[in-house]
Amino acid sequence: MGNTLLGGWAVNVITSLQSGMPLAVTQATNANAFAGFSLERPNIVGQPSLNPADRTPARSFNPSAFASATAFAIGDSSRDPMRGPAYRDLDLALVKHTPLAEHTDLEFRAEIFDITNTPAFAQPNGSFGSAAFGNITSTTTDPRVIQFALRLSR
């Protein structure tokens, strides 16, 4: 009886860690469109990256590190001068197999997705000159999800 209750358990853990995606910064106004430039990049005048402790959804990078490129000039910002927010996820599953008869098995499964309930933020607004420049306004995943399942196998 003790093995029926305490035996047959398995634990599955999946961890996902990803650095942030490259973030393109462009100007909201394009003074060089007449010359065939579809996008214009601003000039970099400071350090765009912030210390991790200083980053918030309202200020994910230093917006004052950029300045407008003037007409007839191409901004000196690189294509992707910084990275967006990192992604961290921890999923856990507890599975219990209980033999009921010679060819019959009952499986109980409890799964917890995003067990730490860590938000996965979307890319910040990279349009220099817009009111939301540097802001993160959404998340990319669901919050913590818990599900249970029973499976009878023969």
The CA distance from 22 to 134, in Å, is 14
- Which tens digit of pLDDT belongs to each residue from 5-14? 678 899 999 9
pTM: 0.72
Q: Is the predicted pLDDT of residue 1 greater than 70, yes or no?
A: no
Q: Are strands 145-153 and 104-113 parallel, antiparallel or unpaired?
A: antiparallel
- Which tens digit of pLDDT belongs to each residue from 75-95? 888 889 999 999 999 999 999
Q: Provide, rounded to the nearest whole percent, the portion of the chain with pLDDT above 70.
A: 97
What is the number of other CB atoms lying within 10 angstroms of the CB of residue 66?
25
* Cα 110–chain centre separation: 25
136 close to 60: Cβ distance less than 8 angstroms = yes
Q: What is the DSSP letter of 148?
A: E
**How high does pLDDT run on average in the chain?**
90
- Which tens digit of pLDDT belongs to each residue from 98-135? 998 888 999 999 999 999 999 999 999 999 989 999 99
- Which tens digit of pLDDT belongs to each residue from 18-59? 999 999 999 888 777 777 777 888 999 999 999 888 999 999
Hey, what are 12's tokens? 């599955």
The CA distance from 120 to 72, in Å, is 39
The CA distance from 69 to 32, in Å, is 10
